[in-house]
């Protein structure tokens, strides 16, 4: 009996360990549930300053936003450098800033594995997609995917792919905002959701892509500036010697372990463990699958793809990704240093710790407490305000891309068959913005208590399994047809969502089914669903002998010529 229960306990522990690591994989940087802190007026004041500045920019942008083209792409006059910053602004979410620095603080090297995954998609976009996207597209990625195909079915697929990705990404951001505001400003959850929802609506409704771009540029500069300052202060403390910083962090981790009753040998081992890979990658299949979702998902995120149409030429598109990759890579190096800084400055300072020795407000406060340690209360307010501004900017970009999918792909192309005038298209996109804003607020409040850790990685998995294969095959494979793209795309979309639902992070952690009951054991579906998407496109294309298939294939040469040279591409004016 005893033996049996011991064994049982061991199995449960093992399962729990696996569950935790799977959840960590799928969550990566998740903000989780947070406790409300004391009201922080400095932070609220600084955020107020950000709001005033961005509202002025929105007013200026509104005077320039007259046509649908202005709304979708800011008139196409944004430079590669500006767009690169805006892409970085879109990509460096609050979850990656707070979550990755927290992950580094908790487990060191493992946090680095995660940020590398987020970065490696960018070169692939540069080498294979960016220029061709710019040469073929106008407002949305569906313009590219449907270039030589029958418009309606491909647009309906692309709009579904866009809206599903945007929905999951939006919910994650809104819930993150609500949790953050409790931590950073000491205000109620619902206030955050309403503030983010209404600010985003103002930016997008009045200022369209121009305002959204500038909000993202400002936010990217503030975030990069603040994070640089923190990293420099940490390194300065150690005389700019990384070895000294790492040695101190290892010592602190070892001391903490020996305080909690570990033997000297175990403690030393635990201390050193932050310098190498730990349990982050449990099974290789999950690791590869998750890596694929991150690498190729980036190339299928509609709000990122849309940014390539804001620049005037393929050359500027290429420069945008160059700058974006540089800034994002630099940012991840900073978060690594910030995480180690948090070990040395925050974990040793009782004023940041609660009675149980944990961080006040939870692990995600690592970077926030560090800002206090290195820059005092005013800098704490600054970083808190930036973290919140980050969410507003990301949400604005998401909403704009969702609104474009409805107004440009569904309304103007599918319903009006390309005969909608600019004014009515603009009106539909504004109405959609309002609707999406309200939906985002409602969902944000509805999901308050839910475990939404899986949502961002699900968004990446769907983007990698549905949007990316269709875009990739339609641009690069001659024999791809309308039927193949639509069926394959939907196969990727449906399978990625379905496999996520029956994976441990949703089936067990969110839906509350018992441990081990999930049908799909891996942390990310991408390896399977992306393969299915590509296979579906290939199979249903080569089997396609319809009249439409002949038209589709015949159109490839003209598409290729334009994608390679840009001759005939939609110009800077967007007409």
Partner 1 sequence: MDDDLVQRIASNPKYQELKAKRTSYGWWLTLAMMVVYYGFILLVAFNKTFLSQRLGEGVMTVGIPIGFGVIVFTIVITAIYVKRANKEFDDLTAEVTKAVLK
Rounded Cα distance between 332 and 386, Å, is 17
Q: Rule CB under 8 A: is residue 264 a binding residue for partner 1?
A: no
Q: Rule CB under 8 A: is residue 427 a binding residue for partner 1?
A: no
Where does this chain touch partner 1 (CB under 8 A) — which range of 227-235, 311-319, 341-349, 420-428? 311-319
In the complex with partner 1, the residue whose CB is nearer, 109 or 520, is 109
Q: Rule CB under 8 A: is residue 551 a binding residue for partner 1?
A: no
Q: Across the chain, which distance is largest between two alpha carbons, in Å?
A: 78
| Assigned token pair, 209 | 């892509």
Asked if 552 and 480 touch (Cβ cutoff 8 Å), the reply is yes
Q: Rule CB under 8 A: is residue 333 a binding residue for partner 1?
A: yes
Asked if 157 and 489 touch (Cβ cutoff 8 Å), the reply is yes
Least spacing, CB of residue 283 vs partner 1, in Å: 8
Q: Rule CB under 8 A: is residue 348 a binding residue for partner 1?
A: no
In the complex with partner 1, the residue whose CB is nearer, 9 or 269, is 269
Where does this chain touch partner 1 (CB under 8 A) — which range of 38-46, 87-95, 270-278, 399-407? 270-278
Measuring CA to CA, how many Å separate 24 from each of 193, 332, 505, 516, 529? 25, 18, 9, 16, 21
In the complex with partner 1, the residue whose CB is nearer, 325 or 372, is 325
Among 276, 350, 512, 514, binds partner 1 (CB under 8 A): 276
| Assigned token pair, 218 | 């400002």
Where does this chain touch partner 1 (CB under 8 A) — which range of 55-63, 411-419, 477-485, 562-570? 562-570
Rounded Cα distance between 212 and 318, Å, is 21
Q: Rule CB under 8 A: is residue 79 a binding residue for partner 1?
A: no
Among 288, 445, 494, 502, binds partner 1 (CB under 8 A): 288
Instruction: Give DSSP secondary structure letters for 103-135.
Output: HHHHHTHHHHHHHHHHHTHHHHIIIIIHHHHHH
Query: Cα dihedral sign for 347, 353, 354, 358?
Result: negative
In the complex with partner 1, the residue whose CB is nearer, 163 or 287, is 287
Among 557, 571, 573, 575, binds partner 1 (CB under 8 A): 557
In the complex with partner 1, the residue whose CB is nearer, 175 or 250, is 250
CA angle 138, 142, 146 (to 5 degrees): 100
Asked if 391 and 173 touch (Cβ cutoff 8 Å), the reply is yes
Q: Rule CB under 8 A: is residue 262 a binding residue for partner 1?
A: no
In the complex with partner 1, the residue whose CB is nearer, 53 or 235, is 235
Q: Which of 354, 469, 386 is nearest to 54 (CA)?
A: 386
Binding mask 115-154 for partner 1 (x = CB under 8 A): xx--xx-xxx-xxx--x-----------------------
Measuring CA to CA, how many Å separate 226 from each of 55, 76, 346, 384? 22, 30, 17, 10
Rounded Cα distance between 397 and 293, Å, is 21
Neighbouring-strand partners of residue 359: 353
Among 182, 319, 408, 430, binds partner 1 (CB under 8 A): 319
377-406 positions binding partner 1, by CB under 8 A: none
Q: Which of 118, 42, 44, 128 is nearest to 87 (CA)?
A: 118
Q: Which of 282, 274, 389, 295 is nearest to 25 (CA)?
A: 282
| Assigned token pair, 294 | 């991150």
Rounded Cα distance between 286 and 393, Å, is 31
216-245 positions binding partner 1, by CB under 8 A: 242-243
Rounded Cα distance between 259 and 269, Å, is 14
In the complex with partner 1, the residue whose CB is nearer, 50 or 280, is 280
Among 109, 229, 447, 538, binds partner 1 (CB under 8 A): 109
Among 239, 284, 350, 514, binds partner 1 (CB under 8 A): 284
Q: Rule CB under 8 A: is residue 247 a binding residue for partner 1?
A: yes
What is the Cα 439 distance to its own chain's centre? 19
Chain contacts with partner 1 (rule: CB under 8 A): 109, 112-113, 115-116, 119-120, 122-124, 126-128, 131, 242-243, 246-247, 250, 272-273, 275-278, 280-281, 283-284, 287-288, 291, 295, 314-315, 318-319, 321-322, 325-326, 329-330, 332-333, 336, 557-558, 560-562, 564-568
């Amino acid at each position: 009996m005893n033996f049996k229960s011991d064994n049982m306990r061991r199995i449960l522990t093992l399962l729990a360990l696996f569950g935790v690591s799977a959840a960590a994989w799928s969550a990566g940087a998740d903000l989780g549930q947070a406790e409300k802190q004391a009201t922080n007026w400095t932070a609220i004041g600084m955020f107020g300053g950000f709001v005033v500045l961005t509202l002025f920019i929105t007013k200026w942008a509104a005077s320039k936003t007259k046509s649908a083209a202005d709304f979708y792409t800011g008139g196409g006059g944004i430079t590669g450098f500006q767009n690169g910053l805006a892409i970085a602004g879109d990509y460096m979410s609050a979850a990656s800033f707070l979550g990755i620095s927290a992950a580094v603080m908790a487990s060191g090297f493992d946090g680095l594995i995660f940020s590398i995954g987020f970065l490696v998609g960018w070169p692939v976009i540069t080498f294979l997609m960016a220029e061709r996207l710019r040469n073929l597209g106008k407002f949305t990625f569906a313009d590219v995917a449907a270039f030589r195909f029958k418009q309606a079915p491909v647009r309906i697929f692309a709009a579904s792919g866009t809206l599903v990705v945007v929905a999951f990404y939006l919910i994650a951001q809104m819930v993150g905002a609500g949790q953050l505001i409790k931590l950073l400003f000491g205000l109620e959850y619902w206030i955050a959701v309403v503030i983010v929802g209404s600010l985003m609506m103002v930016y997008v409704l009045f200022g369209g892509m121009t305002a959204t771009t500038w909000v993202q540029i400002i936010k990217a500069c503030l975030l990069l500036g603040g994070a640089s300052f923190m990293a420099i202060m940490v390194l300065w403390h150690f005389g700019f010697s990384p070895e000294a910083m790492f040695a101190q962090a290892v010592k602190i981790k070892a001391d903490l372990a020996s305080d909690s009753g570990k033997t000297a040998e175990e403690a030393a081992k635990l201390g050193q463990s932050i310098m190498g890979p730990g349990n982050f990658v449990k099974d290789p299949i999950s690791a590869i699958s998750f890596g694929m979702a991150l690498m190729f998902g980036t190339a299928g995120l509609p709000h990122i793809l849309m940014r390539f149409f804001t620049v005037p030429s393929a050359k500027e598109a290429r420069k945008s990704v160059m700058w974006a990759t540089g800034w994002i890579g630099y940012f991840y190096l900073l978060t690594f240093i910030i995480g180690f800084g948090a070990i040395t400055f925050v974990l040793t300072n009782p004023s940041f710790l609660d009675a149980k020795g944990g961080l006040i407000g939870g692990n995600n406060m690592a970077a926030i407490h560090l800002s206090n340690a290195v820059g005092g209360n005013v800098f704490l307010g600054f970083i808190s305000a930036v973290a919140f501004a980050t969410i507003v900017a990301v949400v604005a970009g998401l909403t704009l891309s969702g609104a474009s999918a409805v107004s440009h792909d569904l309304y103007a192309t599918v319903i009006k068959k390309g005969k909608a005038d600019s004014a009515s298209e603009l009106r539909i996109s504004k109405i959609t913005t309002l609707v999406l804003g309200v939906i985002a607020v409602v969902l944000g409040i509805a999901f308050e208590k839910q475990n939404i850790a899986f949502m961002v990685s699900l968004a990446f998995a769907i983007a990698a399994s549905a949007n990316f294969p269709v875009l990739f095959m339609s641009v690069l494979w001659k024999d791809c047809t309308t039927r193949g793209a639509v069926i394959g795309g939907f196969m990727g979309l449906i399978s990625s969502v379905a496999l996520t639902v029956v994976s441990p992070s949703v089936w067990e952690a969110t839906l509350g089914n018992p441990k081990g009951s999930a049908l799909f054991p891996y942390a990310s579906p991408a390896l399977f669903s992306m393969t299915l998407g590509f296979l579906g496109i290939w199979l249903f294309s080569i089997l396609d002998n319809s009249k439409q298939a002949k038209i589709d294939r015949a159109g490839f040469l003209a598409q290729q010529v334009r994608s390679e040279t840009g001759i005939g591409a939609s110009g800077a004016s967007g007409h």
